[in-house]
């Protein structure tokens, strides 16, 4: 394993994203469950979501996003010495999707593992990768969030199936004397395990319990707004920063109402908030890197700007990362 200098910053040098071709609009969902475009847009801001093709896997999407990020970073797969992949919907129970991705990319030998923190997965994975780089244990890390979330949705439950979508986002991090990630902040509270869960398990070759997402939307909503505001304040305080020093706020894309309520509490004007939820729905671990990648590629996020990323998901897990891009 690479043994470099300690105390280096982890700097994002490439981003990538992938969305499956198939789009499911609210009008399409009206044909599946008793819902309507007006309700979905008013309560969530979501207009459409992408859905993985029948033969398209989490690893397929992760590979597209990873290759794009590697290209922007001008890196070859063999330059990568760590792969962390965040997903709730792995291709297999094991090996990890990170190992499947490693084989596809050809960075054989680099440690590769999955992180399961549901919608906070990318923020967790980014945090772990940053620690590897900071301690000199990795020089270049590939961090991916990828989900085929549509496969763990009950398409008869209008309370959940309208909310989620599929996709993948990725970043390449490199050890650098220049900042870099300034600070990371992770939290979890397992007492809230039942308000957002897929409760089933595989036993003797069968799923015992539910294989579908079950959610208490109202509880999740309240918990999300409270904890996200707290963790963002924690990140700002740690860096002696005010909200107006952040160039772009890139929140988890679960629901427009959660995003705007959090931004309002924190005094971030909506012009400084990157939102993709209307087009992507909630892509779980892929939502933050996908939003980052879109804002980088359309020119909003520029080199040297200060970004604040946050996410919250089942567990409950939540976290924030404050960085210079």
User: Using CB under 6 A as the criterion, what x/- string covers residues 260-299 for binding ligand UT7?
Assistant: ----------------------x-----------------
Residue 92 CA to residue 94 CA, distance in Å, equals: 5
Q: Has 161 been annotated as catalytic?
A: no
Residue 224 CA to residue 281 CA, distance in Å, equals: 16
Kindly state whether residue 35 participates in binding ligand UT7, applying the rule CB under 6 A. yes
The residues facing 225 across adjacent strands are none
> In sequence order, which ranges of the chain are alpha helices (DSSP H)?
26-30, 37-44, 58-73, 97-105, 121-134, 158-161, 217-238, 256-266, 277-280, 287-297
Residue whose CB is less far from ligand UT7, 35 or 135: 35
Q: Which of 252, 255, 280, 293 is an active site residue?
A: 252
Residue whose CB is less far from ligand UT7, 107 or 224: 224
Nearest approach, Cβ of residue 238 and ligand UT7 (Å) = 24
Q: Has 119 been annotated as catalytic?
A: yes
Residue 60 CA to residue 89 CA, distance in Å, equals: 12
Kindly state whether residue 67 participates in binding ligand UT7, applying the rule CB under 6 A. no
Kindly state whether residue 220 participates in binding ligand UT7, applying the rule CB under 6 A. yes
182 three-state secondary structure: strand
Number of chain positions touching ligand UT7 (CB under 6 A): 20
Query: Cα-flanking dihedrals φ and ψ of residue 168, to 5°?
Result: -150, 145
Tokens 């970073």, residue located: 73
Instruction: Name the CA radius of gyration of the chain, rounded.
Output: 18
Nearest approach, Cβ of residue 180 and ligand UT7 (Å) = 27
Q: Has 282 been annotated as catalytic?
A: yes
Among 11, 137, 16, residue whose Cα is nearest residue 69: 16
Tokens 């740690």, residue located: 238
Residue 293 CA to residue 209 CA, distance in Å, equals: 37
| Stretch of 95-103, 132-140, 254-262, 265-273 contacting ligand UT7, by CB under 6 A | 254-262
Nearest approach, Cβ of residue 128 and ligand UT7 (Å) = 20
User: How many degrees, rounded to 5, is the angle at CA 32 between CA 26 and CA 35?
Assistant: 55
Kindly state whether residue 39 participates in binding ligand UT7, applying the rule CB under 6 A. yes
| Stretch of 1-9, 18-26, 72-80, 154-162 contacting ligand UT7, by CB under 6 A | 154-162
Q: Which of 119, 161, 255, 280 is an active site residue?
A: 119
Kindly state whether residue 44 participates in binding ligand UT7, applying the rule CB under 6 A. yes
Tokens 């990890």, residue located: 96
**Which residues would be at the binding site for ligand UT7 (CB under 6 A)?**
35, 39-40, 43-44, 119, 158-159, 162, 217-218, 220-221, 224, 254-255, 258, 282, 312-313
- Positions marked catalytic: 119, 252, 282
């Amino acid at each position: 394993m690479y043994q470099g200098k300690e105390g280096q910053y982890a700097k994002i040098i490439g981003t990538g994203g992938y969305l499956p071709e198939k789009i499911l609009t609210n009008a399409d969902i009206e044909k599946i469950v008793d819902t309507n475009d007006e309700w979905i847009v008013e309560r969530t801001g979501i207009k459409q979501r992408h859905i993985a093709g029948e033969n398209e896997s989490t690893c397929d999407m992760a590979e597209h996003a990873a290759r794009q990020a590697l290209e922007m970073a001008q890196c070859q797969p063999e330059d990568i010495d760590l792969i962390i992949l965040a997903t709730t919907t792995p291709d297999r129970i094991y090996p990890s999707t990170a190992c499947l991705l490693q084989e596809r990319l050809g960075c054989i030998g680099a440690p590769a593992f999955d992180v399961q923190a549901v919608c906070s997965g990318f923020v967790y994975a980014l945090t772990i990768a940053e620690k590897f780089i900071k301690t000199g244990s990795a020089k270049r890390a590939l961090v991916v969030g990828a989900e085929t979330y549509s496969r763990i949705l009950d398409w008869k439950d209008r309370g959940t199936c309208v909310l989620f979508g599929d996709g993948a986002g990725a970043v390449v991090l490199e050890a650098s004397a220049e900042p870099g990630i300034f600070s990371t902040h992770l939290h979890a509270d397992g007492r809230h395990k039942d308000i957002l869960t897929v409760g089933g398990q595989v036993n003797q070759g069968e799923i015992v319990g539910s294989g579908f997402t079950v959610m208490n939307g109202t509880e999740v909503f309240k918990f999300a707004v409270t904890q996200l505001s707290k963790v963002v304040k924690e990140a700002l305080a740690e860096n002696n920063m005010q909200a107006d020093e952040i160039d772009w706020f890139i929140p988890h894309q679960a629901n427009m109402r959660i995003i705007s309520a959090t931004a309002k509490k924190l005094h971030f004007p909506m012009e400084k908030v990157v939102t993709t939820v209307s087009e992507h729905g909630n892509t779980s671990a892929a939502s933050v890197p996908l939003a980052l990648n879109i804002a980088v590629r359309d020119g909003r996020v520029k080199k040297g700007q200060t970004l604040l990323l946050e996410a919250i998901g089942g567990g409950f897990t939540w976290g924030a990362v404050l960085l210079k891009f």
